[in-house]
Amino acid sequence: MRVTDAEAKVMEALWRSSPLTAEQVIAEVAAGEGWSETTVKTLLSRLLAKKAIAAKRDGRRYLYRPRIERQAYVAAESRDLLDRLFAGKLAPFVAQFSEQHDLSAEEIEELHKLVAKLKSGDR
């Protein structure tokens, strides 16, 4: 069961900190996305229905927390993109991206360190 883009915005809030009440989630995302309160509540319900989050009763309200890790979501999205567009290979992705955008010296340095670490088998 896939988490949609709008739902992911709500997940991001919960990944940033949790548990949160619906009201707190609304405070985190509604204004930024230009959403009404009920929209956020709908998204919470759908996420609950697809078991992407859990809700624990706390008096008259619920406390929501993620049930899937951001790491897993990010990894799935990344793999999907790589598979669809780069035959699953990382290097071609990096190649095209660096061709399209001028990377800062810092970014390049960071990549360098990363690759060095990979070469040394340090993981």
Partner DNA sequence: CTCCGTCGATTACAGGTGTAGTCATTACTG
Partner DNA sequence: CAGTAATGACTACACCTGTAATCGACGGAG
Judged by the rule CB under 7 A, the positions of this chain that interact with DNA are 2, 4-7, 21-23, 33-36, 38-39, 41-43, 45, 48, 59-62
**Rounded to whole angstroms, how far apart are CA atoms 18 and 25?**
9
**Rounded to whole angstroms, how far apart are CA atoms 117 and 102?**
23
Size of the site for a second copy (CB under 8 A): 36
Q: Toward a second copy, which CB reaches closer, 60 or 119?
A: 119
Q: Name 95's Cβ contacts closer than 8 Å, sequence gap at least 6.
A: none
Q: Toward DNA, which CB reaches closer, 58 or 69?
A: 58
Report residue 73: phi and psi, to 5°. -65, -50
For the record, the structure tokens of 72 come out as 């897993």
Task: Tell the residue number behind the tokens 């598979």, with chain if given.
Answer: 83
Residue 13 contacts residue 20 (beta carbons within 8 Å): yes
77 binds a second copy (CB under 8 A): yes
94 binds a second copy (CB under 8 A): yes
Q: For the chain, how far is it from start to end, CA to CA, in angstroms?
A: 31
Q: Toward DNA, which CB reaches closer, 18 or 94?
A: 18
15 binds a second copy (CB under 8 A): no
Q: Which of 34, 57, 71, 87 binds a second copy (CB under 8 A)?
A: 71
What is the binding site for a second copy (CB under 8 A)? 5, 8, 71, 74-75, 77-79, 81-82, 84-86, 89-91, 93-101, 103, 107-108, 110-112, 114-115, 118-119, 123
